[in-house]
Amino acid sequence: MSHTIACMVESPSDPASAVDERRSVRGIQTVLAFTDFSAQATAAVRRAAQLADQHRALLRVVHVVEPPLLTMRDDWAGSPEGRRRIASAKTNLSEHVRSLNGCDSRVGAQVLVGVVVEEILGVADQGGLLVLGARGSSPVKSVLLGSTATRLLTRCERPMLVVKQDRTDPYGQVLIPIDLQDDASKTLQAALALAPAAQLHVLHAYRVEHEGMFRRADVAKETLQKFRRIAKVKAQSRLLSALARVEQGTPRFLSHLRRDHPVRLTLASEARFHADLIVMSKRSRSKVEDALLGSTTKRVLLDSRCDVLVIPLLAAA
């Protein structure tokens, strides 16, 4: 069962602008939710339905039937076992969609056949916002290969909401960790667009450049404190400038500046403010770099308890 929908955002004439706009959550027209019928995926679909209602958007719910390993997709899909599983998936998905009590959005459903991550990436451009659960129905596979969400993190170029809580009330406490080396405008605007009525906490963890070297060189404590004050003043100025560019005279953000590690600051702030959503940006990275070093966004995605919205940024020229 499938549903034909319109694209999320009209494409601007500038190709670069078109790519950039597709990575935004402003003007959501379609919410694309993925389910494997697990408890967390079901919670994600319910959250997607709430957001679709809030933004008067279409909701499209997708389930992927994955063929057995070492089989050809089309051959398996045409086999008796494949036809049986696909028919069962369509029935389950239809019942799943009908269970969305109180959902006022126009809802579509579709069953796809193939490798889960590849199928999601194949339809990602049909949604302005992708919504999925943090963990799927196969914990063993998640341990071996990483969850679908973490595998998508470095490849998906659409805003992606990873749902960890089974809640459908509008987001109320939102954390927005920002790296001032990037333009934070897109991340801030995404938080405003998705949760316009929430209290928005902007976090920036700054550091003193070469502090470790200064410590090893036994630099005087007073000198180190001076460097820290200078770093804080510079970071605060840049943070306030970043907020002002988005607020345009109407205060909307609460700023929090601390000399800390960004992951530690984000997770501590999640508990402190009882956050129900974290909004973060991410840049595309090589698979080797991601495997060796990880990333702040990936670590927060793995270790946080609340939902996480990941906003892709254009790679540096």
79: CATH: 3.40.50.620
Same domain, 224 and 275: yes
The structure's pTM equals 0.83
What is the amino acid identity at position 139?
A: P
% of the chain surpassing 70 pLDDT? 79
3 is a domain residue? no
The arithmetic mean of pLDDT across residues 110-129, rounded, is 92
Same domain, 277 and 138: no
204 is a domain residue? yes
10 is a domain residue? no
Same domain, 205 and 251: yes
Q: Cβ neighbours of residue 263 under 8 Å, at least 6 residues apart? A: 296, 299, 300, 303
Question: Do the strands 307-312 and 160-163 form a parallel or antiparallel pair, or are they unpaired?
Answer: antiparallel
Same domain, 128 and 226: no
Same domain, 256 and 156: no
Same domain, 127 and 195: no
Is pLDDT at 229 greater than 70 in this prediction?
yes
As a whole number, the mean pLDDT across the chain is: 82
256 is a domain residue? yes
Band (pLDDT 50/70/90 cuts) for residue 215 is low
pLDDT in tens, 164-201: 999 999 999 999 999 888 789 999 999 999 999 999 99
Show the domain range for 306: 173-312
Same domain, 143 and 244: no
Is pLDDT at 275 greater than 70 in this prediction?
yes
* pLDDT reported for residue 19: 44
Beta-bridge partner residues of 109: 61
218 is a domain residue? yes
* pLDDT reported for residue 2: 36
Same domain, 153 and 196: no
Q: Where are the beta strands (DSSP E) in the chain?
A: 30-34, 58-65, 107-113, 129-133, 160-163, 173-177, 199-206, 253-259, 277-282, 307-312
% of the chain surpassing 90 pLDDT? 54
2 is a domain residue? no
